[in-house]
């Protein structure tokens, strides 16, 4: 094993050698931070990015690590490769990484609907990792955050319908969108014009339907179709009816979702609260007296998904629908943290 | 008739004398602008506010009008009084205005659920004005905006369930909340702390469950309970099941609502689009190819409610539910404009 950067002094020699593709992106940076914060054992780390970013130096566990250009040869000696550089890069390079002996955890949409590739949120369907897969897909951020909250309900009862209405932050569109939100807002406060460059609509103090392409037939955008398909896969419910509306709001980081969950039988909000209490990855924030519920400002930087506003959905007079409101860090549980949790849950694997 | 301020030179002498209670507030200022923009005929205008604001001068149709302190004697000679200074002020002064001979159009929640007081959105239930009422309630902003879009559907088909998830702007909480959003955001961009003073939670690049008090029993907040009760009243459907989640987002002006409408029979999105085309108060913004749908930035300053994203709600496998997304100016259709439209729709009334 080619331990180029033995950065984790407390890791045994046999700890995996890790690569991050897209290391300088919003998710890539959080991947590095998650590996550090969780003391993920690795014997070396290779940071990969486009030629444009190569040569930059990132700090990892207090040591400088140069960013290298992603090439066909980048995966030599790599045991675990995290991909977060878009579906096109994943489609091209993930097979090469696997051929070089790596397990790939892919944050793009490239393989999420491939039935041979597990799509995993450890809290919801960690058992999908038991077959020692070589390629694992990390879900869409909304699907990941929602399924953490839904998993305990799904395990206890039969969900018959879901509705999700989202409040998605700039971070879901990367650094550039976060910068655009800051710049557009500063311009608005100064009374100046700002022409959108990253997102298609004015972002300062404004919101708009998600920027993913819209299917002209159904009227659903690509983000919504991903949320439906991936939530079904993660819950193992191929034909679960799911309505979804995805909206981009002027929040920098952390997505929120108004969830409405219909059950086959009569389930009370109290039963839902009980099922969520102490559930893995869930933190209840549901204080009616203090009017304190999940907020992006409190979800940002948090690994847990905040869940609150648990109440009967009065739109269903049969009393079988419960409404919830969740906030989760899009860059963490919605991306980097979930990927690292997948790596942690992989069957033990000694590098060759 | 005591024509103190003959500001509208083209109005006949018999045009009503108008008073605005809460004239310096966010809605009050828009009331003045709506009267101007719609060339509402009045023979005089009295601007009323608290002692704190009295003495200020506002421009109306190019002429200065001093703001007077609201007192028991303020309604002498007044034919139409618009109230927008909170429920407490309305409860105390509206009966006095009526006793002095005025018709009161009240923007507060004071009388909205009084069965003897019509609650009116002219596009939805303008017929409620036929009895020449002396007191008319102007609905909650979400209920007003939603019912403009719902009215044409309600007239064509039987709605059996509604779900509304809101994206409510700062303007709904008045000037002070709009200023707080600007100040908090400027502080965040400068990396400075800002302690919330008007709203209970940090507002910069953040969102939170609506700040109205939460009913500890049901978990619904006061805003949500108003939306349910008032939407039912306006549509004349006292027991219509309505689920609602009200959220304050960091948008300065104009509310948005993700609406899901279930019908008794099978109604297609195309039929819904047709019913909304040309409907009063509605402007379709539903361009799937350009990804152009209703946005607060385009609804702000507009009298019409923008409606789009008309599609089948995939959460209902029976195909009887249609999803929509609407944006409407909270200060206009959600408040001031609707009040002026009520005044315009009042049965002709010659001042004594």
Write down the pLDDT at residue A351: 47
Measure Cα distances from A204 to A18, A171, A247, B312, B330 in Å.
39, 15, 14, 30, 18
Apex A77 CA angle, A75 and A79, nearest 5: 85
Q: Are A19 and A44 in contact (CB under 8 A)?
A: no
SS (H, E, C) chain A: CCCCCCCCCCCCCCCCEEEEECCCCHHHHHHHHHHHHCCCCCCEEEEEECCCCCCCEEEECCEEEEEEECCCCCCCCCCEEEECCCHHHHHHHHHHHHHCCCEEEECCCCCCCCCCCCECCHHHHHHHHCCCCCEEECCCHHHHHHHHHHHHHHHHCCEEEEEEEEEECHHHHCHHHHHHHHHHHHHHHCCCCCCCCCCCCCCCCCCEECCCCECCCCCCEHHHHHHHHHHHHHHCCCCCCEEEECEECCCCCCEEEEEEEEECCCCCHHHHHHHHCCCCCEEECCECCCCECCCHHHHCCCCCEEEEEEEECCCCCCCCEEEEEEEECCCHHHHHHHHHHHHHHCCCCCCC
Residue of A nearest to B218 (CA): A311
pLDDT tens across the length of chain B (352 residues): 333 443 444 445 589 999 999 999 999 999 999 999 999 999 999 999 999 999 999 999 999 999 999 999 999 999 999 999 999 999 999 999 999 999 999 999 999 999 999 999 999 999 999 988 999 999 999 999 999 999 999 999 999 999 999 999 999 999 999 999 999 999 999 999 999 999 999 999 999 999 999 999 999 999 999 999 999 999 999 999 999 999 999 999 999 999 999 999 999 999 999 999 999 999 999 999 999 999 999 999 999 999 999 999 999 999 999 999 999 999 999 999 999 999 999 976 544 4
- The 10 Å Cβ neighbour count of residue B134 is 14
Residue of B nearest to A205 (CA): B251
The arrangement of strands across the sheet holding A321-328 comes to A242-245, A159-167, A255-263, A321-328, A305-312, A282-284
Residue of A nearest to B250 (CA): A205
Q: What is the mean pLDDT of residues A77-102?
A: 98
pLDDT digits (tens, 9 = 90+) for A254-312: 999 999 999 999 999 999 999 999 999 999 999 999 999 999 999 999 999 999 999 99
Write down the pLDDT at residue B348: 67
- Cβ of A161 within 8 Å of Cβ of B186? The answer is no
In whole angstroms, give the CA distance from residue A286 to residue A272: 12
pTM comes to: 0.94
Domain B143-329 CATH class label: alpha beta
Contacts of A352 (CB under 8 A, 6+ apart): A1, A101
A-chain CB neighbours of B323 within 8 Å are 243, 245
Q: Are B249 and B167 in contact (CB under 8 A)?
A: yes
Apex A248 CA angle, A246 and A252, nearest 5: 135
Domain B17-139+336-345 CATH class label: alpha beta
Dihedral sign, CA of B67, B71, B76, B79?
positive
Which residue matches tokens 């297609």? B268
Q: What is the mean pLDDT of residues A196-205?
A: 97
Identify which of A181, A189, A209 has the shortest CB distance to residue B309.
A209
pLDDT of A180 strictly over 50 = yes
Residue of B nearest to A182 (CA): B189
Identify which of B214, B241, B310 has the shortest CB distance to residue A291.
B214
Residue of B nearest to A229 (CA): B314
Which residue matches tokens 């609907």? A113
In whole angstroms, give the CA distance from residue B21 to residue B71: 10
Q: How many residues does chain B have?
A: 352
DSSP-assigned letters across all residues of B68-125: EE--TTTTTT-SEEEE-S-HHHHHHHHHHHHHTT-EEEE-SSTTTT-TTS-B--HHHH
Write down the pLDDT at residue B347: 78
DSSP B171: G
- Cβ of A312 within 8 Å of Cβ of B218? The answer is yes
Q: Which of residues 195-234 of A touch B (CB under 8 A)?
A: 200-202, 205-209, 211, 213-216, 218-221, 228
Catalogue the active-site residues of A: 141, 255
Q: Is B318 on the interface with A (CB under 8 A)?
A: no
In whole angstroms, give the CA distance from residue A294 to residue A285: 6
Q: Hey, what are A102's tokens?
A: 């790596």
- Beta strands B80-83 and B17-21: pairing type? parallel
In whole angstroms, give the CA distance from residue B51 to residue B87: 18
Q: Are B265 and B160 in contact (CB under 8 A)?
A: no
Q: Which of residues 272-291 of A touch B (CB under 8 A)?
A: 288-289, 291
Contacts of A74 (CB under 8 A, 6+ apart): A19, A21, A46, A48, A68, A93, A97
DSSP B332: I
CA distance B229 to chain A (A): 12
Which residue matches tokens 């069965």? B115
Q: Hey, what are A130's tokens?
A: 């038991």
For residue B281, give the 3-state DSSP assignment: coil
- Cβ of B321 within 8 Å of Cβ of A161? The answer is no
For residue B56, give the 3-state DSSP assignment: coil
Q: Are B282 and B149 in contact (CB under 8 A)?
A: yes
Which residue matches tokens 């987002």? B249
Q: What is the mean pLDDT of residues A183-197?
A: 97
B166, B170, B172, B176: CA torsion to nearest 10: 160
- Cβ of A211 within 8 Å of Cβ of B291? The answer is yes
Q: Is A252 on the interface with B (CB under 8 A)?
A: yes
Q: Are A226 and A109 in contact (CB under 8 A)?
A: yes
In whole angstroms, give the CA distance from residue B166 to residue B228: 13
Q: What is the mean pLDDT of residues A191-215?
A: 97
CA distance A338 to chain B (A): 23
Write down the pLDDT at residue B350: 45
Distance of CA A352 to the CA centre of its chain: 30
Q: Identify the band that residue A6 occupies on the pLDDT scale cut at 50, 70 and 90.
A: very low
Identify which of B202, B242, B291 has the shortest CB distance to residue A315.
B242
Q: Where are the domains of chain B?
A: 17-139+336-345, 143-329
Residue of B nearest to A190 (CA): B186
Distance of CA B217 to the CA centre of its chain: 28
Q: Are A104 and A84 in contact (CB under 8 A)?
A: no
Within B157-295, residue ranges assigned H as helices are 175-189, 222-235, 269-276
Query: What phi and psi, each to the nearest 5 degrees, are found at residue B189?
Result: -65, -30
pLDDT of A3 strictly over 50 = no
Tell me which CATH code domain A143-330 carries.
Answer: 3.30.360.10
In whole angstroms, give the CA distance from residue A240 to residue A231: 9
Q: Is A237 on the interface with B (CB under 8 A)?
A: no
Identify which of B206, B218, B314 has the shortest CB distance to residue A241.
B314
Q: Is A168 on the interface with B (CB under 8 A)?
A: no
Write down the pLDDT at residue B13: 56
- Cβ of A295 within 8 Å of Cβ of B220? The answer is no
Query: What phi and psi, each to the nearest 5 degrees, are found at residue B337?
Result: -60, -45
Write down the pLDDT at residue A349: 55
A-chain CB neighbours of B182 within 8 Å are 189
In whole angstroms, give the CA distance from residue A325 to residue A323: 7
Q: Are B232 and A282 in contact (CB under 8 A)?
A: no
Measure Cα distances from B156 to B94, B233, B274 in Å.
36, 18, 11
Write down the pLDDT at residue A347: 78
Catalogue the active-site residues of B: 141, 255
pLDDT digits (tens, 9 = 90+) for A108-142: 999 999 999 999 999 999 999 998 899 999 999 99
Average pLDDT value for chain A? 94
- The 10 Å Cβ neighbour count of residue B70 is 25
Q: Which helix (H) or strand (E) holds B44?
A: strand B44-49
Q: Is B264 on the interface with A (CB under 8 A)?
A: no
- Cβ of B317 within 8 Å of Cβ of A241? The answer is yes
For residue B138, give the 3-state DSSP assignment: coil
Write down the pLDDT at residue A33: 97
SS (H, E, C) A148-205: HHHHHHHHHCCEEEEEEEEEECHHHHCHHHHHHHHHHHHHHHCCCCCCCCCCCCCCCC
Write down the pLDDT at residue B349: 55
């Amino acid at each position: 094993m080619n331990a180029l950067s033995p950065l984790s002094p407390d890791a045994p020699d046999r700890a995996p050698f890790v690569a991050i593709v897209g290391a300088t992106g919003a998710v890539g940076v959080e991947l590095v931070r998650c590996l550090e914060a969780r003391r993920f054992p690795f014997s070396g780390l290779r940071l990969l990015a486009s030629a444009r970013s190569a040569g930059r130096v990132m700090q990892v566990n207090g040591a400088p690590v140069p960013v290298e250009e992603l090439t066909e040869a980048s995966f030599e000696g790599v045991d675990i490769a995290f991909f977060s550089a878009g579906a096109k890069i994943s489609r091209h390079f993930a097979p090469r990484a696997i051929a070089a002996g790596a397990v790939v955890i892919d944050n793009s949409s490239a393989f999420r609907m491939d039935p041979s590739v597990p799509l995993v949120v450890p809290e919801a369907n960690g058992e999908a990792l038991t077959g020692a897969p070589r390629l694992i897909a990390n879900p869409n951020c909304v699907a990941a955050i929602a399924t953490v909250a839904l998993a305990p309900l799904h395990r206890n009862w039969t969900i018959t319908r879901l509705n999700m209405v989202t409040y998605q932050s700039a971070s879901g569109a990367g650094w550039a969108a976060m910068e655009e939100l800051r710049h557009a807002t500063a311009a608005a406060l100064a009374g100046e014009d700002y022409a959108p460059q990253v997102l298609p609509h004015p972002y300062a103090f404004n919101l708009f339907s998600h920027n993913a392409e819209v299917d002209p037939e159904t009227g659903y955008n690509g983000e919504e179709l991903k949320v439906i398909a991936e939530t079904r896969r993660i819950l193992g419910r191929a034909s679960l009816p799911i309505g979804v509306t995805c909206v981009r709001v002027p929040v920098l980081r952390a997505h929120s979702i108004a969830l409405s969950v219909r059950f086959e039988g009569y389930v009370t909000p109290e039963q839902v609260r009980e099922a969520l209490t102490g559930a893995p990855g869930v933190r209840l924030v549901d204080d009616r007296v203090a009017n304190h519920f999940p907020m992006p400002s409190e979800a940002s930087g948090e690994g847990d998904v905040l869940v609150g506003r648990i109440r009967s959905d009065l739109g269903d007079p049969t009393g079988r629908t419960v409404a919830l409101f969740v906030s989760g860090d899009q860059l963490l549980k919605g991306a980097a943290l979930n990927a690292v949790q997948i790596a942690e849950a992989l069957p033990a694997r000694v590098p060759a």
